Amino acid sequence: MKEFIFTMLLLCLLFPLAFCATNDGLIRIGLKRVKFDENNRLAARLEAKEGEALRASIRKYDMLNGKNKQRYSSDDTDIVALKNYMDAQYYGEIGVGTPPQKFTVIFDTGSSNLWVPSSKCYFSIPCFFHAKYKSSQSSTYKKNGKAAEIHYGTGAISGYFSEDNVQVGDLVVEDQEFIEATKEPSLTFLAAKFDGILGLGFQEISVGNAVPVWYNMVKQGLIKDPVFSFWFNRHPDEKEGGEIVFGGVDPNHYKGKHTYVPVTQKGYWQFDMGDVLIDGAPTGYCDGGCSAIADSGTSLLAGPTTVITMINHAIGASGVVSEECKSVVQQYGQMIIDLLTAEAQPKKVCSQIGLCTFDGNRGVSMGIESVVGERSGRSSGLHDGMCSACEMAVVWMQEQIRKNQTEDQILNYINELCEHLPSPMGESAVDCGSLHKMPSVSFTIGDKVFDLSPDEYILKVGEGSAAQCISGFTAMDIPPPRGPLWILGDVFMGRYHTVFDFGKLRVGFAEAA
């Protein structure tokens, strides 16, 4: 018997594309861990349909092997285990067609389409390094042919729609519309260990208005409850990357109770978020509330440059000097302090000193088009760089004035923040030996404060003296009407088990187990 069990386990390890069933009634997908390779890093910023979402370049969490864990069992629940590649990509396996052709995909709550490379992808180098869908080999293939294109920060995948059965774990979704990609941007997907992307967002952002895979799972009655949940593993010495559970929630994946917040805008899984705290002290940026999305396809935690710079300064991250920022402080710093001290409306300050075209109530063209944030009152217009720097300086100075700092202290602090503006690619380095000195960073969601410790928001690559540490916070300024927006990616979802409740249109967070 022992020899038989050993043989079966060996088969599951040797053939990771095979579905290995366990005696709890759930189907899991074999996993393996791939080490980080600095020379093969995927460093791409991906935009969503309107160009408003970020796919950051590095993922933090490694795999769990799940030894001695009890598993949630239900005939109406499906579990897909997630792989990890170079701490940058989490992916799982699906099948397309009959018999199923196997593909590794990113399960992405920040997009809504399913796409895989096509056998008709002749002129894109990445297609030669990934599995390709062959419609002629599937008995359930249905021709569609409608052209499709999804834009990314480094190019676009393009192709055409087809229809076929899609196997996710042991579930088979029939007649699923998906994109056969015939062109892929080389730099983005050449080194990627995943073949395609399976979007778990809402149909509202689906290219071609295609019905997402998740919608069809629900419509075809393949799951009991219209809920799916993510668990990313945070233990670097274990093999399993995590699990996505369709149709339910595994109680072994979290501690305590979930805090739920309603979805405020369908498209992404978007909800309202309260203030951001650094070492327990409010930044004040979200006093009037902020919007956020839970996005499994984004590696880091992304937010407005204003607050990300404050965070990176507090943790000692170094970025790129912004001359516009320093120029604003030098030329207008005292004037801004005087206006704020005189209780001028903060959102009017930058227009009062002539750096922005927004007067606090409406956009003033002055011959220059002005884009005004409907919700936040932030603007972009005259001298975009100087205007943005001014608006950031106003927020920073407000915080320091609340702390009763002197004028010299305020100006020195703002100059330091200018030095810590993130690099153009969004990454900021930190000293690996200083983690014990770094503050916690917290996010208010619902009635609860969710903390991240330095060990949880710093990405460590390599060992010993060769180790590099990178801030898990990256700047991203999403324009109105979607923005400003916080993207709670894998840095946050690794710490907090996340439930996507499609039936009740809500998102829930609890401490991951």
Note whether 60 and 38 are within 8 A (CB).
Answer: no
Mapped onto helix, strand or coil, the DSSP state of residue 323 is: helix
- Cα torsion angle, 89, 90, 93, 94, sign: negative
Label each residue of 141-155 as H, E or C.
CEEEEEEEEEEECCE
Question: What are the two backbone dihedrals, phi and then psi, of residue 350, each rounded to the nearest 5 degrees?
Answer: -70, -30
User: Hey, what are 169's tokens?
Assistant: 């774990």
Distance separating alpha carbons of residues 2 and 222, to the nearest angstrom: 35
Provide CB contacts within 8 A for 497, sequence distance 6+.
229, 230, 231, 253, 254, 258, 509, 510, 511, 512, 513
Distance separating alpha carbons of residues 326 and 6, to the nearest angstrom: 64
Task: Report the run of H or E that residue 58 belongs to, with start and end.
Answer: none
Distance separating alpha carbons of residues 304 and 288, to the nearest angstrom: 15
Q: Which alpha helices (H) appear in 403-450, and where do they start and end?
A: 407-419
User: Hey, what are 80's tokens?
Assistant: 């897909």
Catalytic entry in 62, 78, 87, 108: 108
Question: What are the two backbone dihedrals, phi and then psi, of residue 351, each rounded to the nearest 5 degrees?
Answer: -75, -30
Distance separating alpha carbons of residues 107 and 80, to the nearest angstrom: 10
Task: Report the run of H or E that residue 92 belongs to, with start and end.
Answer: strand 89-96
Residue at 292: amino acid letter:
A
108 has catalytic annotation: yes
What are the DSSP E strand ranges found in 153-253? 155-168, 171-183, 196-199, 227-232, 242-246
Burial-class residue 136 by CB neighbours within 10 Å (0-12, 13-18, 19+): exposed
DSSP string over 255-285: EEEEEEEE-SBTTTTEEEE--EEETTEE-ST
User: Hey, what are 206's tokens?
Assistant: 């689906």
Catalytic entry in 78, 195, 295, 501: 295
451 has catalytic annotation: no
Distance separating alpha carbons of residues 232 and 83, to the nearest angstrom: 10
N residues, the chain:
513
Q: Which residues are catalytic?
A: 108, 295
